[in-house]
């Protein structure tokens, strides 16, 4: 069960319509619809926290650890970084799909790969021409 399923489940449990949830979270109804269809995910943890608060749950419940990596990547590096992390996580999850690792070990592997991705991205930054670099915050 992913974010879209947990979101819909908790919204129904709370007795809210998509419009009511959208109003409480200060997003459009279309945004909530996209989240529930799985065609979009929130771009930052603040929105997820607001959704969780409106539904009386936690962001940890709404997001799996791999989805958390994706949202954090989106915050840190934009949509491309989120897609890269999603692809990396999907490949690694498939690699260990035989059930040879415990959940904790798989989580550790995911965390290590996520860290390696960001270190490599930072290291390779020096090879990007200055005019194409994102401005430092």
The per-residue pLDDT for range 12-60, each reduced to its tens digit, is 999 999 999 999 999 999 999 999 998 888 877 888 889 999 999 888 8
CA distance 86 to 27: 24
pLDDT (0 to 100) of residue 102:
66
Torsion angle (degrees, nearest 10) of CA 83, 28, 36, 9: 130
pLDDT (0 to 100) of residue 60:
82
Closest CA relative to residue 4, chosen from 59, 50, 63, 47: 63
DSSP secondary structure string for all residues of 74-96 = HHHHHHHHHHHHHHHHHHHHHHT
Residue ranges matching CATH 1.10.260.40 in the chain? 3-62
CATH topology assigned to domain 3-62: 434 Repressor (Amino-terminal Domain) (1.10.260)
pLDDT (0 to 100) of residue 18:
93
Closest CA relative to residue 51, chosen from 66, 36, 73: 36
Instruction: Grade residue 137 by pLDDT with cuts at 50, 70 and 90.
Output: very low
């Amino acid at each position: 069960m992913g974010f879209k399923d947990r979101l819909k489940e908790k919204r129904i449990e709370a007795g809210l319509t998509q419009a009511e949830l959208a109003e409480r979270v200060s997003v459009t109804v279309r945004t909530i619809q996209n989240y529930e269809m799985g065609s979009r995910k929130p771009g930052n943890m603040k929105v997820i926290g607001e959704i969780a608060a409106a539904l009386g749950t936690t962001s940890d419940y709404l997001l799996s650890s791999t989805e958390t990596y994706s949202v954090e990547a989106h915050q840190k590096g934009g949509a491309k970084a989120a897609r890269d992390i999603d692809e990396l996580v999907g490949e690694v999850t498939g690699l260990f799909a035989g059930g040879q690792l415990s959940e904790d070990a798989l989580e550790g592997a995911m965390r290590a790969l996520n860290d390696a991705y960001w270190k490599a991205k930072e290291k390779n930054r020096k090879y990007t021409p200055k005019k194409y670099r994102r401005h430092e915050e």
